[in-house]
Structure 1
Amino acid sequence: MLFLALLLPATSSYSGAFGNISGFVRDKETNIPLPGANIVVEGTNFGAKASKHGYYIIYNLPVGSYNLRVSMIGYSSLKLTEVEVKTDLNTSLDIDLTSRVLNTSEEIVVTAPRVQIFRDLMSSTEYLSEEAIAETTPGLTYHDKLALVPGYVANHIRGSRSSNVQYLIDGLPASGAMTRAAAFTIPTSAIAEMVVQTGGFSAEYGNVTSGVINIITREGRNDFFGALKLAQDLPARRDWTYDNARRAEFAVGGPLKLGLGGPLIDSNYLISGSAYLTDTPYRKELRRTFHTPVIFNYDLNSKLMLRLSSNLFLRWQGLFSNWEWRQYDAAWAGRLSALPKRFNNNSRMDLSIIQTLSAETFYKLEFSALRLRRRVTGTIAGEETTNLILDQSQSLAEVWQGAVEPWWEDLREQHYLGRLSLVRQLNPIHQFRLGFETNLWQISLNRDRFLLWPNGRSAESLVYSRYQDSFRRNPYALAAYFHHKIELPGFLATMGVRAEYFSANTKPALLPSEAAFAVPNDSITVPEPRQEKFHFTLAPRLGIAIPIGNIEHLAVNYGWFFELPPFYYLYTNPAGSVGARWPIFGNSNIKPIRAKAWELTYRRVIAEYSTFTLTGFLRDFDDLIDTFPYANQPTRFENQQQPVFRYENRAKASTSGLEAAYSHRFGSTLQTSLAYTYLTSTGTGSWPESTLLSRS
């Protein structure tokens, strides 16, 4: 790839998620606390004053690197540079001031350690910084960077299913409920930090059993920021197999004064976007039929942070994503002109209010509206066509006579979220977090598609079967959590619990043998209907960390985690159609997937720029989804009785292993990392259709 990048000078920018800085201010000679000392974060409006115990805490600092200035009457002022703030973590920073009687210097400058051990980091978490994403690691998108995370392989984390991974942008959902696939592509120049959690999670995180990928986007500081990146892959001489990929992205941000008929309001803004065009690795085949580009995508991210008062912030964010493409399918290699065009149109609007009520207490109120639409514009087959039989010598292009593949789909999702979080620092030792969350979905799907399966009755033939869906559903979920952190000089512990309640808000579809049917005397036999079930889960979580000096850290965590299954498995085939060769029924009574996990981690700073991590882990999955067969059901396939399948909580899995990672940084432009994961995985099904495929 050929890269061209333009960066306008600026300090590092704010992110959309937050961390804290806390510690004690003491006299360097006597170790006596210094109440009333002032701590100011340069270039921002953040700061704190030390309490009567000399303790201070600065809440809700956006992710990034900061300079702190500490002052007190009778003492030389102190400037601490390059203090790192990470998402959801507390940077512990004790400060010693020197009396002016002993030192007449006006200011003392101290640089924070290049590599730090965060005391309250209880689980395996990889923090990809702004520099690592934009400069020191290869790849065009944030998906490319994930390959560097230990335990991550092709959207699977430590052997889990891909749907067990949750995507967040600035701490809010960024994936669809029907499939749990990521819905947005954020330009790398607009990312302040990417947090990948592969171990346990605190009680604030729900609806996930395997891993969390949280993309923290920038916001402008009081300095202007701008970035432009262009990329193009170029073919080598006599090599015309390249993708013809082109990518452009930009980001601009900075300060802004807003006047709404009153006093001017301090604010910061960020606007970023990207465009991606490619002919894919199948360029040679697809370009014979379709014009370039085969794939077209653009994404836009806009943010505005307003400081309404010294303790009240308001943040608005808008995300937009559009995809248009055709996807190569080997089954249609003989007639690629039949490939239908696909569209994804996604957006998210969110509003956050953060207010500091006192030096020890603040709350955050968040609202989010996520809208997703997926369309496939193939043809709709005639009603008389249900199953097409192919022998091994035939292809779909030969059997299907229509001009375009028989696949028409229109999926719409709307997800409305409201969340309230309250944090109280009771004293330097105890911190409490309490939160409530509500989720409401509006989902509609109209789909008419043919899928290719083994025939089952003949090893030498396949069947092209028709599946139809048409439904509207409104599931909802409620959640609450409590989190308690205890912090002592040589010991930290977190204890939390998360309660969740979910309703699919519909009754399950009936199997043929359960449905009403006519008997010879024209009477009707009506079975007892299956009732809707509500699911309540309670997930305890525990973490313990033991700092060993300033360069070593031992942590262990244990917890229960629950995850809502992709909604497709709850609602598909609501009409109970049995015309396909292998009828599949959804099941709205599917329980949330459960995982029990523990992890033990040792971390050590080897040198100024080097760290080593060793982790052992075990995760057991229960209630995974599989297709369960029900034999001798009346169907319309050749008017014979045959098995039908329903999605149920029938599968289990267990993963365990050992993970070692070493990283070293050479200056600001080169970073090396080496990771090794030894993983063993056992289970009864690798994907939800495992049993169906084995039977067919």
Structure 2
Amino acid sequence: MSMKQFFSLFLLLLPIIVFSQDNNGSISGEVRDAITKQPLPGANIVISGTLFGAACDDKGYYVIKNVAPGKYSLKASIIGYESSTNSDVVVSPLRNKKISFELNSSTIEMNEVSIQSDYFARPAENVVSMRTLSPEEIRRSPGSAEDIFRVMQSMPGVATAGGKSAQLIVRGGSPDENLTLLDNIEIYNPIHFARTGESMGIISIVNPALLEKVDFLTGGFPAKYGDKMSSVFDMKLQDGNKELYNSDVNLNIGGFGVMVDGPLIDNSSMILSVRRGFLDVLTSMMGKPAAPRYYDAVGKITYDIDANNRLSFVGFYYIDQIDKLGTTKES
């Protein structure tokens, strides 16, 4: 092959090479102590089966760049702590995936048995009737319309309040006996169109794409959750990306939604989701007299004051409306 032919071939392949590099994503997050919530500088983050990895800075923050799109297993480890693995990390093109870890301390002794944690961590105080879900598990759950409450309806000991309702009846108790938390904030009515004493409620007010994890306890839950008798539904919002802006548009049976997240000023990030249901459009097409319409917005702003202190602002707002058409009877 002559030099001219080689140069021409290189020019033809150059856009493909550049495109493949620019099409990669990235992974970022934090590693903290599970008890004190303090950052763990120097913790190692490795993508299993690859040579990609990173070490945390003095704030416990890490970034792994130029990761090809796909599904990976991510492992966090540091001396003096039990390692932790997240085996359900999905990297999308040109997007940053935020994965954070909380590690439990361990004692290292020579010539003794070494105990390692499993992939799915379960706190010692929550040993009975507990299930933890990730956003990917919620998204893949069949027949749930990507709604977290409908996913839990398939668990043992959980019944529905009707085929059209997303409310949960746990161990025979009323839906009012369930405790719902969003970043430790109690939500008294977490489902659209839910009414006390009625088998109503269509879909959750929280977009599951915002969640970092969900803990669902149906019995034996710790005293810190108060006096609720049936279950505890503990949702934790993820923090926004500190590296770049992400946007996501979603359309399913639950409605149309837009989610954005990214950095703000130095040491701060935001994440916001806005949704609108289109049940009113469906009922109008079917000629039904009632047109239910709902909107919801959930957001979080996080600011790192220093390596040991963090300030978070969480807010949510939703509107439920039902328009009814009819005729007036003349006397």
Q: Rg larger in 1 or in 2? A: 1
Task: Name the stretch that deviates more: 190-199 or 115-124.
Answer: 115-124
Seen in structure 2, the aligned counterparts of structure 1 residues 402 and 280 have a Cα distance that, compared at 3 Å, is: farther
Partner of 1:249: 257
Partner deviation per Cα, 1:629-686 (whole Å, 9 max, x = no partner): xxxxxxxxxxxxxxxxxxxxxxxxxxxxxxxxxxxxxxxxxxxxxxxxxxxxxxxxxx
- 1:145, CA displacement in angstroms? 1.6
Residue type of the partner of 2:239?
Answer: E
Matching of residues 451-466 of structure 1 within 5 Å: none
Paired with 2:254 and 2:219, the residues of 1 have a C-alpha distance of 36
- Among candidates 291, 296, 300, match of residue 299 of structure 1: 296
Partner deviation per Cα, 1:235-287 (whole Å, 9 max, x = no partner): xxxxxxxxxx5622222223332xxxxxxx41121111222111498767x72
Residue type of the partner of 1:287?
Answer: G
Is it true that 1:317 corresponds to 2:323 in the alignment? no
Paired with 1:215 and 1:172, the residues of 2 have a C-alpha distance of 9
Q: Which runs of 5+ in 1 are unaligned?
A: 1-7, 23-36, 48-64, 73-77, 99-110, 232-244, 258-264, 328-335, 339-399, 404-696
Aligned 8 A contact 1:39 1:68 in 2: no
3-state SS in 2 of match to 1:223:
coil
Matching of residues 462-501 of structure 1 within 5 Å: none
- 1:186, CA displacement in angstroms? 0.9
Is it true that 1:226 corresponds to 2:251 in the alignment? no
Is it true that 1:121 corresponds to 2:121 in the alignment? no
Aligned 8 A contact 1:189 1:250 in 2: no
Aligned 8 A contact 2:41 2:56 in 1: no
Partner deviation per Cα, 1:425-463 (whole Å, 9 max, x = no partner): xxxxxxxxxxxxxxxxxxxxxxxxxxxxxxxxxxxxxxx
Partner of 2:230: 210
Partner of 2:17: none
Paired with 1:310 and 1:46, the residues of 2 have a C-alpha distance of 5
Paired with 1:79 and 1:207, the residues of 2 have a C-alpha distance of 33
Aligned 8 A contact 1:197 1:211 in 2: yes
Residue type of the partner of 1:228?
Answer: V
Aligned 8 A contact 1:219 1:269 in 2: yes
TM-score (norm 2): 0.60
Seen in structure 2, the aligned counterparts of structure 1 residues 19 and 214 have a Cα distance that, compared at 3 Å, is: farther
- 1:121, CA displacement in angstroms? 2.5
Matching of residues 574-613 of structure 1 within 5 Å: none
Partner deviation per Cα, 1:444-484 (whole Å, 9 max, x = no partner): xxxxxxxxxxxxxxxxxxxxxxxxxxxxxxxxxxxxxxxxx
Q: Which structure is higher in RCO with an 8 Å CA cutoff and minimum separation 6?
A: 2
Partner of 1:270: 271
Partner deviation per Cα, 1:369-418 (whole Å, 9 max, x = no partner): xxxxxxxxxxxxxxxxxxxxxxxxxxxxxxx9589xxxxxxxxxxxxxxx
Aligned 8 A contact 1:220 1:253 in 2: yes
Aligned 8 A contact 2:298 2:316 in 1: yes
Partner of 1:11: 27
3-state SS in 1 of match to 2:264:
strand
Is it true that 1:20 corresponds to 2:34 in the alignment? yes
- Among candidates 127, 132, 139, match of residue 137 of structure 2: 132
Partner deviation per Cα, 1:286-312 (whole Å, 9 max, x = no partner): 72546xxx2221211111111112222
Aligned 8 A contact 1:39 1:69 in 2: no
Aligned 8 A contact 1:256 1:268 in 2: yes
- Among candidates 145, 154, 178, match of residue 165 of structure 1: 178
Partner of 1:200: 220
Paired with 2:282 and 2:159, the residues of 1 have a C-alpha distance of 20
Q: Which runs of 5+ in 2 are unaligned?
A: 1-23, 45-54, 61-72, 88-100, 111-115, 161-167
3-state SS in 2 of match to 1:139:
coil
Residue type of the partner of 1:171?
Answer: N
Matching of residues 518-597 of structure 1 within 5 Å: none
Matching of residues 176-187 of structure 1 within 5 Å: 176=189, 179=196, 185-187=205-207
Partner deviation per Cα, 1:604-651 (whole Å, 9 max, x = no partner): xxxxxxxxxxxxxxxxxxxxxxxxxxxxxxxxxxxxxxxxxxxxxxxx
Is it true that 1:337 corresponds to 2:326 in the alignment? yes
Residue type of the partner of 2:317?
Answer: F
- 1:158, CA displacement in angstroms? 0.9
3-state SS in 2 of match to 1:215:
strand
Paired with 1:316 and 1:307, the residues of 2 have a C-alpha distance of 12
Paired with 1:300 and 1:45, the residues of 2 have a C-alpha distance of 34
CA RMSD in angstroms, aligned pairs only: 4.4
3-state SS in 1 of match to 2:140:
helix
Residue type of the partner of 2:258?
Answer: F
Seen in structure 2, the aligned counterparts of structure 1 residues 272 and 302 have a Cα distance that, compared at 3 Å, is: same
Aligned 8 A contact 1:92 1:118 in 2: no
Paired with 1:168 and 1:271, the residues of 2 have a C-alpha distance of 18
Is it true that 1:94 corresponds to 2:103 in the alignment? no
TM-score (norm 1): 0.31
Partner deviation per Cα, 1:127-156 (whole Å, 9 max, x = no partner): 111221123554222232222332221210
Partner deviation per Cα, 1:529-579 (whole Å, 9 max, x = no partner): xxxxxxxxxxxxxxxxxxxxxxxxxxxxxxxxxxxxxxxxxxxxxxxxxxx
Seen in structure 2, the aligned counterparts of structure 1 residues 268 and 288 have a Cα distance that, compared at 3 Å, is: closer
Matching of residues 389-468 of structure 1 within 5 Å: none
Paired with 1:283 and 1:307, the residues of 2 have a C-alpha distance of 48
3-state SS in 1 of match to 2:305:
strand
Seen in structure 2, the aligned counterparts of structure 1 residues 312 and 247 have a Cα distance that, compared at 3 Å, is: same
Aligned 8 A contact 2:216 2:232 in 1: yes
Partner of 2:94: none
3-state SS in 1 of match to 2:225:
coil
Residue type of the partner of 1:172?
Answer: I
- 1:212, CA displacement in angstroms? 1.4
Task: Determine what percentage of the aligned residue pairs are the same residue.
Answer: 17
3-state SS in 2 of match to 1:148:
coil
Seen in structure 2, the aligned counterparts of structure 1 residues 307 and 161 have a Cα distance that, compared at 3 Å, is: same
- 1:10, CA displacement in angstroms? 4.7
Aligned 8 A contact 1:43 1:221 in 2: no
Paired with 1:115 and 1:81, the residues of 2 have a C-alpha distance of 8
Seen in structure 2, the aligned counterparts of structure 1 residues 165 and 45 have a Cα distance that, compared at 3 Å, is: farther
Seen in structure 2, the aligned counterparts of structure 1 residues 150 and 207 have a Cα distance that, compared at 3 Å, is: same
**Structure with a larger share of its residues in strand:** 1
